A and B are shown apart, each in its own frame.
Chain A
Amino acid sequence: MANITIGVLCCHYTNQAGEEDFRGIPGTVILKRYPCSGHIEVADILKTFEEGAEAVLVAGCEKDKCHNLSGSLRAEKKALGARKILEEIGLEPERVRFAFLPRLDTGPFMEEVKKTFETALNMKSKS
């Protein structure tokens, strides 16, 4: 099977999962961390696709837990903006996933990473 690459964009406070945690993912994970998920731009998401990701997870802290109050809400909107652009250029918008996650809880974070990998796998099998 061809190597599958996914992107994970999140803030330092959302999760600090490392190489060890991603070992169970049978593909490549491009991990980008930001001081706050509100700092993630549409361009960052698109660039991750340029780098070869088949799907990208944008993860932010739960709505009322954002260190900067509204960062993760902004991140959710950026994910929607990236989806819109993907659609315009003929890619499936569902390649961009967004999740509000409990801070520093690796379990739910890895669940979303796995779902993103499944999305990537589906997309790859379609293409």
Chain B
Amino acid sequence: MIIAERRPIPKVLKAIEPYEKILVLGCRGCVAVCSAGGDREVETMAAALRLARKLSGRPLETGEATFIRQCDPEYLAPLKEMVRDYEAVVSMACGVGVNLIADLFPEIRVYPGVDTTFYGANPALGEWQEKCRGCGDCILDVTGGLCPIARCAKNLLNGPCGGSQGGRCEIRREVPCVWHQIYERLSARGELDRLMNFFPAKDWRPAGHGGPRERIREDLKMG
């Protein structure tokens, strides 16, 4: 899922400084699952903003709502009517939600309530770890299901660097060297031959370096 975390309140306060009535809008997708932008976090953000503004002598009125998703126009549709009562929206969705609101409703002033960080897994309560970089050219079939693009600080494609010591990354001791893990995994399976072919220099265009990515499925389009 997409992982996000609450923005520091002063940053949000600065963005909404001119307004007196705002809507804090949550999303029940990824950001709700990672406890950054669901119903509960909407309530917290709204209360924090109101309290801060009360203290500054410029009270703020807030509305609170949470949509099923903010990355689909059909779920965002009610916003057009809803927002008439407000001067601005603080979206607690990931950056995708904020962008889609900005695309669909140019008249709405929308500001982020979270910082969107990475695609991650939730291995334990309160822990999220990056597992995929969305680079558009998956090599997990060769690397035992462990991604060196997302999990190696240098995105190395052909084995570990000199900073890999005792199976640990030089960036932080608690980070395992993913190339060490890949080697151990394939070695245990008797599949080291998978690593005999060199990966050529990676084409980063599918990773977004060729501009914003889009995917079109004619079989799903209507009209």
A85 in contact with B9 (CB, 8 Å): yes
Q: Which residues of B contact A43 (CB under 8 A)?
A: 40, 43-44, 46-47
Asked if A90 lies at the interface with its beta carbon under 8 angstroms from chain B, I say yes
B44 in contact with A42 (CB, 8 Å): yes
Q: Which residues of A contact B46 (CB under 8 A)?
A: 43
B8 in contact with A88 (CB, 8 Å): yes
0/1 string, A43-58, CB within 8 A of B gives 1: 1001101100000000
Within the complex, the shortest CB–CB distance from A17 to chain B, in Å, comes to: 26
A46-B51, A50-B50, A50-B54 given; A88·B43 CB < 8 A:
no
Identify A89's interface contact among B9, B40, B43, B44, CB under 8 A.
B9
Q: Which residues of A contact B222 (CB under 8 A)?
A: none
Asked if B48 lies at the interface with its beta carbon under 8 angstroms from chain A, I say yes
B47 in contact with A50 (CB, 8 Å): yes
Which interface class (under 10, 10 to 19, 20 to 34, 35 or more) fits A? 10 to 19
Asked if B18 lies at the interface with its beta carbon under 8 angstroms from chain A, I say no
Q: Which residues of B contact A50 (CB under 8 A)?
A: 47, 50-51, 54
Q: Which residues of B contact A90 (CB under 8 A)?
A: 52, 55
Q: Could you say which of A46, A47, A49, A50 has the most chain B C-beta atoms within 10 Å of its C-beta?
A: A46
Please classify the interface of chain B as helix (H, G, I), strand (E, B), loop, or mixed, using the class held by over half of its residues.
Answer: helix
Asked if A91 lies at the interface with its beta carbon under 8 angstroms from chain B, I say yes
Q: How far is the CA of A116 from the CA of B26 in the complex (A)?
A: 34
For window 51-90 of A, CB contacts with B under 8 Å fall at 81, 85, 88-90
Asked if B10 lies at the interface with its beta carbon under 8 angstroms from chain A, I say yes
A49 in contact with B40 (CB, 8 Å): no
B43 in contact with A41 (CB, 8 Å): yes
For window 34-76 of B, CB contacts with A under 8 Å fall at 40, 43-44, 46-48, 50-52, 54-55
Within the complex, the shortest CB–CB distance from B19 to chain A, in Å, comes to: 17
Q: Could you say which of B43, B51, B54, B55 has the most chain A C-beta atoms within 10 Å of its C-beta?
A: B51
Q: How far is the CA of A90 from the CA of B56 in the complex (A)?
A: 10
Nearest chain A residue, comparing its CB with the CB of B45: A43
0/1 string, B1-39, CB within 8 A of A gives 1: 000000011100100000000000000000000000000
Nearest chain B residue, comparing its CB with the CB of A89: B52
Q: How far is the CA of A89 from the CA of B50 in the complex (A)?
A: 11
Q: How far is the CA of A49 from the CA of B53 in the complex (A)?
A: 12
Q: Which residues of A contact B52 (CB under 8 A)?
A: 89-90
B43 in contact with A85 (CB, 8 Å): no
Identify B9's interface contact among A41, A47, A81, A88, CB under 8 A.
A88
Within the complex, the shortest CB–CB distance from A115 to chain B, in Å, comes to: 23
Nearest chain B residue, comparing its CB with the CB of A42: B44
Nearest chain A residue, comparing its CB with the CB of B8: A88
0/1 string, A29-42, CB within 8 A of B gives 1: 00000000000011
Within the complex, the shortest CB–CB distance from B1 to chain A, in Å, comes to: 21
0/1 string, A84-109, CB within 8 A of B gives 1: 01001111000000000000000000
Contact surface of A with B, Cβ cutoff 8 Å: 41-43, 46-47, 49-50, 81, 85, 88-91
Q: Knowing that A43-B43, A50-B50, A85-B44 are A-B contacts, what are 8 other residue pairs whose CB atoms are under 8 Å apart, sorted by A's residue number?
A: A41-B43, A42-B44, A43-B46, A46-B44, A46-B47, A85-B48, A88-B8, A88-B10
